[in-house]
């Protein structure tokens, strides 16, 4: 009923000029949320009071509050895999969540303390390479959630990194590990292998290559001492040559794309130190507390989710652009692609029935101001509507370059204003009236029209610190969760990644001639013929 009411309201209202909504002098304040020192402004959307009320009612009717409580207390809300979803427990070591009646906090604290001791010892040189020298570089080998989160966070928190240089390898393309290791000294490099099962084919292929690279320098007997495993399989890590004291495991209630709060974040901890890592966790925990306690339109993750629902499922906008005006968040759009599209890119509801509407949007983006000289042309004057999500810090980390930060902020605000206001045909004519006349004036003016009335939101935060990054990431995690509950889907499985992986394993022997391709379709046979041909 709430879906029907929202769609009816959208249709009945007809064309709505967002700028006209600002005749209400209090709109900006009313259509914003402040929480955890952040400001989320969604007033530059066409959501009005009635639409917002209906959206909040939709969330209430979906059982979001009950589902949220079930997640935080450790119930098995990942029903297709029969698992709890407790990444939030990793950032709340003193919490009271239970899984199968057992408290999880003691194990979380123990693992976090082990990670901190290892990080401190490595960073001060108490832990050294088997040859006796200090480690200078760390290479994290993982893929998906074992790579995107830590890689994004290390880049985001560059002002807090010291002592160790951290690098990330994910692609099974040999060019990736080759280019990352080319300038490194194997004898001074620590390799983190991140795979829960220690069977992920891309990760283990790269790990074997890294072991050969290190063994060629220090010898096979010492190579294992250069490795750390983030895995729950002590058997397989031992077979690889990694001492069990260098293995940091995590439970099946931690999903890959939600895992950087625990052992998967070891590379981040090594880069920024254990104290800063704990601040990172504390920031996420603060957003957790807000998400659990704030009501209705005062709940920032909920409103971020409801804006997304409005744009995608009600208005029919198929994509969402994430535009951080913060160079150090360059990898955030890629991280959010996985977080949102792997979580909510589903076609069936929890009961296995087809969804009655589209699920998650296509998420993409780049940092500003780079995007302004690339794809903003389509956003401003293209035929498709692309809701934009701007992000910007009030303060940068470079006080001697404050003038550049002011220019950055000015560009961010200017883009959202331009999307809102646009430029009319009359305004375009006026701008070029002295250069053209007659039909040519009309033709040239039409090229300079900006339709405007294009929706955007802006998230403003004081400064990109470890605590603030934790808050931002948790904000988006809860946004994805809320959208998933409202859509009635399971945001915590990812069966869509399985089929291609299975077929890749079957195709590998065809590339070496160990098997024939008779059962393959004509296109695949043709591609195999070309790729294996020596002509």
CA 513 – CA 519 distance, rounded (Å):
14
Choose the catalytic residue: 295, 373, 447, 502: 373
Q: Give every CB contact of residue 180 below 8 A, 6+ residues apart in sequence.
A: 139, 167, 168, 169
Catalytic entry in 102, 178, 440, 501? 501
CA distance 176 to 168: 9
Structure tokens given for 144: 């998906």
Nearest-CA neighbor of 288 among 115, 461, 476, 485?
Answer: 476
- 325 touches 409 (CB < 8 A): yes
CA–CA distance, 411 with 225 (Å, rounded to integer): 49
217 assigned to active site: no
Rounded distance, CA 32 to CA 105, Å?
35
79 is catalytic: no
CA dist 291 and 272 (Å) reads 27
Structure-block tokens of residue 22: 């600002």
Catalytic residue list contains 501: yes
Residue 319 main-chain phi, psi, to 5 deg: -125, 165
Q: How far apart are CA 151 and CA 333, in angstroms?
A: 12
Cis, peptide link before residue 14, omega less than 30° from 0: no
Q: Which of 202, 251, 340, 342 is catalytic?
A: 342
Round to whole Å and give the CA distance between 30 and 397. 31
134 DSSP 8-state letter: P
Catalytic residue ranges: 342, 373, 501
């Amino acid at each position: 009923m709430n879906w029907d009411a929202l769609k009816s309201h959208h249709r009945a209202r007809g064309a709505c000029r967002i700028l006209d909504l600002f005749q209400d002098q209090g709109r900006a304040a009313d259509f914003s949320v402040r929480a955890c020192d952040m400001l989320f402004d969604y007033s530059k959307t066409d959501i009005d009071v009635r639409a917002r009320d209906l959206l909040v009612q939709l969330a209430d009717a979906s059982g979001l509050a009950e589902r949220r409580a079930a997640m935080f207390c450790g119930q098995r809300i990942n029903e297709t895999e029969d698992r709890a979803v407790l990444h939030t427990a990793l950032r709340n070591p003193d919490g009271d969540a239970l899984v199968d009646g057992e408290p999880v906090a003691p194990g979380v604290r123990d693992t976090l303390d082990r990670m901190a001791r290892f990080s401190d010892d490595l960073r001060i040189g108490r832990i050294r390479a088997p040859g006796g020298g200090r480690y200078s570089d760390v290479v994290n080998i993982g893929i998906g959630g074992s790579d995107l989160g830590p890689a994004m966070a290390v880049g985001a928190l560059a002002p807090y990194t010291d002592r160790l240089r951290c690098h990330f390898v994910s692609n099974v393309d040999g060019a990736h590990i080759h280019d990352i290791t080319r300038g490194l000294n194997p004898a001074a490099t620590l390799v983190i292998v991140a795979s829960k099962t220690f069977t992920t084919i891309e990760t283990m292929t790269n790990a074997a290559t890294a072991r050969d690279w290190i063994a060629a320098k220090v010898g096979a007997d010492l190579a294992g001492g250069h490795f750390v495993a983030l895995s729950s399989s002590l058997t397989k890590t031992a077979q690889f040559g990694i001492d069990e004291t260098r293995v940091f495991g995590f439970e099946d209630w931690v999903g890959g794309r939600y895992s950087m709060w625990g052992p998967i974040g070891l590379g981040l901890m090594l880069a920024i130190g254990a104290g800063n890592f704990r601040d990172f966790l504390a920031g996420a925990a603060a957003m957790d507390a807000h998400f659990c306690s704030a009501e209705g339109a005062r709940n920032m993750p909920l409103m971020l989710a409801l804006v997304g629902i409005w744009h995608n499922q009600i208005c029919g906008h198929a994509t969402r652009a994430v535009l951080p005006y913060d160079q150090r968040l360059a990898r955030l759009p890629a991280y959010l692609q996985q977080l949102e599209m792997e979580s909510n890119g589903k076609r069936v509801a929890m009961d296995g029935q087809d969804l009655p509407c589209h699920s998650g949007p296509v998420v993409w983006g780049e940092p500003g101001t780079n995007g302004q000289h690339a794809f903003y042309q389509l956003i401003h004057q293209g035929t498709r509507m692309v809701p934009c999500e701007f992000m910007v810090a009030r303060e940068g980390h470079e006080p001697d370059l404050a003038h550049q930060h002011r220019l950055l902020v000015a560009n961010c605000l200017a883009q959202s204003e331009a999307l809102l206001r646009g430029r009319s045909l009359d305004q375009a004519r006026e701008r070029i009236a002295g250069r053209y006349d007659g039909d040519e004036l009309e033709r040239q003016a039409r090229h300079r029209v900006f339709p405007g009335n294009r929706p955007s939101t802006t998230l403003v935060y004081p400064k990109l610190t470890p605590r603030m990054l934790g808050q931002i990431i948790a904000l988006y995690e809860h946004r994805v969760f809320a959208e998933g509950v409202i859509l009635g889907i399971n945001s915590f499985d990812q069966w869509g990644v399985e089929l291609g992986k299975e077929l890749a394993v079957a195709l590998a022997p065809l590339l070496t001639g160990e098997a024939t391709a008779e059962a393959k379709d004509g296109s695949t046979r043709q591609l195999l013929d070309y790729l294996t041909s020596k002509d």
